Amino acid sequence: MRRPLTLVMTAAVVAALAAGCGSDSSSKDVPSPATPVSAVPSFPDQGISFKAPDGWALDAGRAPLVATVQAGPSTVAVWRYPRTEKLPVTKDELKAARDALVKAAQARDSTFQVIKAASATIAGKPAVQIRARETIAGLLRTVRSTHIYSARSEIVIDAYSDTDNFRAVDAQVFRPLLKTFEVHAPRA
């Protein structure tokens, strides 16, 4: 009888230690960014695939959220929003989309500050990319928000981290991850 109780107690202690109970969080505790090299998560019903970083937690989402990839204070959230209106393609249309996205973000969050906003081509598709500082869940974050327009959808990739670590995570994870994206018409 004592043996099962001992095993249960040992398992509980190991779980508590693994969870890091009672430890303070600091930028030194942030996992090292890993270049995206792992297996390719594929979401054919959403028409999206990308290479997630090794060692980051990948979770499938529920529409419109496709997936999240997280490590420490850094997150990549991938969304797919069906669109019935004409999607922006030309330089002027992408500029108008960029301006509308910035205006909507400013209306939603009084702390929102644009660092840079520009048209781009991501996964071979027209896109708008915005780097900004904003408040997410009560915490100041630096964000790279990418909006890809394809197949009657707006695919949004929100990549964000705490401001102290953003530059390193952006260079080592977020930008390389964006280069791995493939976007197709959703299967569903």
The structure's pTM equals 0.78
Residues forming a β-bridge with 155: 80, 148
pLDDT confidence of residue 44 = 83
CB-based contacts of 139, cutoff 8 Å, min separation 6: 73, 162
Instruction: Give residue-wise pLDDT tens across range 83-117.
Output: 999 999 999 999 999 999 999 999 999 999 999 99
pLDDT confidence of residue 79 = 97
pLDDT confidence of residue 100 = 98
Domains of the chain in sequence order:
37-183 (3.40.1000.10)
pLDDT per 10-residue tile (average), the chain, 188 residues: 34 32 39 50 86 92 95 96 96 98 97 98 97 96 98 96 97 96 86
Query: CB–CB of 31/14 below 8 Å?
Result: no
